A and B are shown apart, each in its own frame.
Chain A
Amino acid sequence: QKEVEQNSGPLSVPEGAIASLNCTYSDRVSQSFFWYRQYSGKSPELIMSIYSNGDKEDGRFTAQLNKASQYVSLLIRDSQPSDSATYLCAVRARAAGNKLTFGGGTRVLVKP
């Protein structure tokens, strides 16, 4: 079992709809959770971080964390074609020396 798992997609959503991305992790002592956006051939760019259970909203993005279920999600509201990218989930556990472990990413396609 991978430490951080994501559905590879592609997740196809119409413009203006909500895109819902999921990520599960195996290490129960994980403390910090990140969502990165990566356009094809470009470097990852941090879009959200979340550290406690519940929801965190930033503009059109909402991250949701449920530590009991070892699950973190990202919602993209009012999806735009410019949101078409791969979204990487990353998890940090202090026991792992503060290193980040990345999932394989979910490719999102927003169709006009």
Chain B
Amino acid sequence: DADVTQTPRNRITKTGKRIMLECSQTKGHDRMYWYRQDPGLGLQLIYYSFDVKDINKGEISDGYSVSRQAQAKFSLSLESAIPNQTALYFCATSDRQSTSTDTQYFGPGTRLTVL
């Protein structure tokens, strides 16, 4: 089984709809991240969480919210989806115990299309 899973893998929705993307991990990591990737571009950080009670905004948090329900679960919500939020979304995790390396492990991604 994959260490980092994301659901759904693909989603098509309409402008104005609320949508939630979910991320779960079995790696036992305390840090979790949400990124978006637009075609031909690198990864942009939306939100990150260093533990259940610690949530921080990233570079592009406007229009998004998150919830860290447990150490293993980190959800991303689009309260009112708009077309320019069409992108590939990745969840990632890392381990505080390895702060010198802070290697991030990525989930398989969710392809979101907002019509």
Contact = CB atoms under 8 A, between A and B. Distances in A.
A51 B45 CA distance: 22
B90 interface: yes
B97 interface: no
Contacts of A99: 33, 45, 48, 58
B103 interface: yes
A104 B48 contact: no
Given A43-B109, A44-B90, A97-B56, A102 B99 contact: no
B101 interface: yes
Contact of B40 (A32, A100, A104): A104
B58 A8 contact: no
Contacts of A105: 40-42
A4 B45 CA distance: 14
Interface string B39-54: 0111111001000000
Contacts of B56: 97
A72 to B, nearest CB: 15
Given A49-B101, A51-B100, A99-B58, A43 B42 contact: no
A42 B108 contact: yes
Contacts of A34: 103
Interface string A16-57: 000000000000000010100000011111100101000000
Given A43-B106, A49-B103, 11 more contacts: A32-B101, A42-B108, A42-B109, A45-B106, A46-B104, A98-B99, A99-B48, A99-B58, A101-B45, A104-B40, A105-B40
Interface of A: 4, 6, 8, 32, 34, 41-46, 49, 51, 88, 92, 97-105
Interface of B: 33, 40-45, 48, 56, 58, 88, 90, 99-109, 111
